[in-house]
Amino acid sequence: MLPEDDLLATQDEENQPTDKPKSTQKKLSRPWLILVGIAVVSCFGGVFSAFLLTATPLQNGKSSRLPNSRDITSMMSATIDKPVNILVLGIDNSGHPHKNQFTPAEALAGNSDTMLLVRLIPQTRQVNILSIPRDTQVQIPGRGVDKINDANVIGGAKLAAQIVSTSLGNVPIDRYMRLDTEGFIQLVDAIGGVEITVPKKMDYVDHTQKLEIHLASGRQKLNGQHLQEYIRFRHDDLGDIGRVQRQQQVLKAILSELLQPATIGHVPELLQVVKNNVDTDLSVGEILALTQFLTHIDQRHVNMVMLPGRFSTKQEFRLSYWIENPQAAATMLAQYFDIHTPANTLPKSNLSFKQIKLAVLNATDKADQTSKTFALLRKQGFENIYRSKHEIDNTYNTSETQIIAQQGNIEAAKAVQQALGVGQVQVAATGDIWSDVTVIIGADLNNRR
């Protein structure tokens, strides 16, 4: 369902749709990054505004426009006055036979291997991000059962938005952004690389995708090429879901890097990447409004969840799919995207401590801390606890216990925090994927005892 109302309120009360010429620019891939980039450069309002006013229109022509969506072309100050949903698509063109020599249409015609639905809520200064695994099974008109990342190949941004909307309880899609692999590389290089912890040695070669990954384990600063290799790695037990988790991990690391004072010196390069590599139906006025909004958010108000589901079995389908859990998805959409369907309108009983599925990992050098934590949690009434083999994301501050609401249930995570007496609660999908809440033990829990 695509809304007909304007998204933004501007000082110009008579905004009229204005046709814009097709862009001939190359486009970019990892979509969520443009949101972060805009947030950084927004503190240079005058420079950014002047840059946008002289830039080539950031659109890919009428063929990509979402239906029932009107432009706001005023150059005056704009603000977001109600929640906005933006679909961001990361297009994988890394295996294209003519790398760096394809047309804009070719660059955007690939699979959307990154799919994020981003909701901006001005009333609470909150950002909710839903990661949609690329292998999610959907019905595509005229095609039948397919993977959701094929929608962009078949019908571009318009069809991708339609499939996402109908698959998620008719959630409204207000605008879209598309980027490709090369743009992601350029953005990371523009800020001088990003420091990340690679949890294990990664060696993988895929000649069909022209993908060769050789990364050592440990904390290191990766350039754009190596960081996109890290994100694309799928050669482990979690496959595409592991990649979704790495995307969220990298997003946090990039956001942290962009907010550093040293990033000021990289603003010209960032602006150029934005100008040359973004395909979107956002108008310039709307981009300025998003800029203003994102400048004032707190990272603690950024919630990142993943579409709940399970892996298909070989007995079910020839191909591997991520099968959505409708009930769990409906609950998550109601909480983070205000979508209410018959599946989530029934009264719900409170989740008891006995029902909360708790995964525990130890990030300290105290081997006995895990058993002590088990004992403490059981004393507080938690029973469904297990030691997880999930790889610890060491981008977290290991001095502080991390309590991750893996399925988006923040109340369950807060209950765990209260039981432990320490820890930082966050909504993310970077924990053990089969848990309700993942606890990563930090030094503060050891010091508490």
Are 309 and 322 a contacting pair, CB within 8 Å?
yes
* Domain around 398: 358-448
Q: Is residue 418 part of a domain?
A: yes
For residue 357, which of 263, 248, 435, 255 has the smallest C-alpha distance?
435
CATH code (residue 415): 3.30.70
**Does 422 lie in the same domain as 301?**
no
The residue from 272, 306, 337 where one domain ends is 337
**Does 313 lie in the same domain as 241?**
yes
**Does 54 lie in the same domain as 85?**
yes
**Does 436 lie in the same domain as 306?**
no
Q: pLDDT-based confidence at 445, cuts 50/70/90?
A: confident
Q: In total, how many domains does the chain have?
A: 2
User: Could you give the CA distance from residue 269 to residue 260 in angstroms, rounded to a whole number?
Assistant: 16
**Does 332 lie in the same domain as 285?**
yes
**Does 385 lie in the same domain as 297?**
no
Q: Is residue 142 part of a domain?
A: yes
**Does 328 lie in the same domain as 362?**
no
* pLDDT: which is higher, 401 or 91: 401
**Does 332 lie in the same domain as 362?**
no
Q: Is residue 302 part of a domain?
A: yes
Q: Is residue 66 part of a domain?
A: yes
Q: Is residue 79 part of a domain?
A: yes
The most confident of 28-37, 78-87, 137-146, 335-344, by mean pLDDT: 137-146
pLDDT digits (tens, 9 = 90+) for 35-51: 444 444 443 333 344 33
pLDDT of residue 239: 78
**Does 128 lie in the same domain as 43?**
yes
84-88, 222-226, 357-361, 398-402: which has the minimum mean pLDDT? 398-402
pLDDT digits (tens, 9 = 90+) for 331-365: 999 999 999 877 565 445 456 778 899 999 998 88
Give the up-direction half-sphere exposure of residue 283: CA atoms within 13 A in the CB hemisphere.
Answer: 23
pLDDT of residue 344: 60
**Exposure of 46 by Cβ count < 10 A (0-12 exposed, 13-18 middle, 19+ buried)?**
exposed
Written as six digits, the tokens of 143 are: 């095609």
**Does 406 lie in the same domain as 326?**
no
Q: Is residue 342 part of a domain?
A: no
The residue from 304, 337, 370 where one domain ends is 337
What type of residue is 54? T
Q: Which residues contact 133 (CB under 8 A, 6 or more apart)?
A: 115, 148, 240, 241, 244, 306, 307, 309, 322
Are 71 and 17 a contacting pair, CB within 8 Å?
yes
pLDDT of residue 348: 52
What type of residue is 350? N
In the three-class reduction of DSSP (H, G, I as helix; E, B as strand; rest coil), residue 34 is classed as helix
User: Could you give the CA distance from residue 344 to residue 332 in angstroms, rounded to a whole number?
Assistant: 9
Strand-pair category, 358-362 with 385-387: parallel
CATH code (residue 147): 3.40.630.190
Q: Is residue 141 part of a domain?
A: yes
Are 215 and 230 a contacting pair, CB within 8 Å?
yes
Are 94 and 211 a contacting pair, CB within 8 Å?
yes
pLDDT digits (tens, 9 = 90+) for 102-143: 676 777 788 998 999 999 998 899 999 999 999 999 999 999
Are 419 and 377 a contacting pair, CB within 8 Å?
yes
Are 29 and 98 a contacting pair, CB within 8 Å?
no
Region 67-83: what's the mean pLDDT? 56
Q: Does the pLDDT of residue 446 top 80, yes or no?
A: no
**Does 407 lie in the same domain as 319?**
no
Q: Is residue 378 part of a domain?
A: yes
The residue from 306, 337, 368 where one domain ends is 337
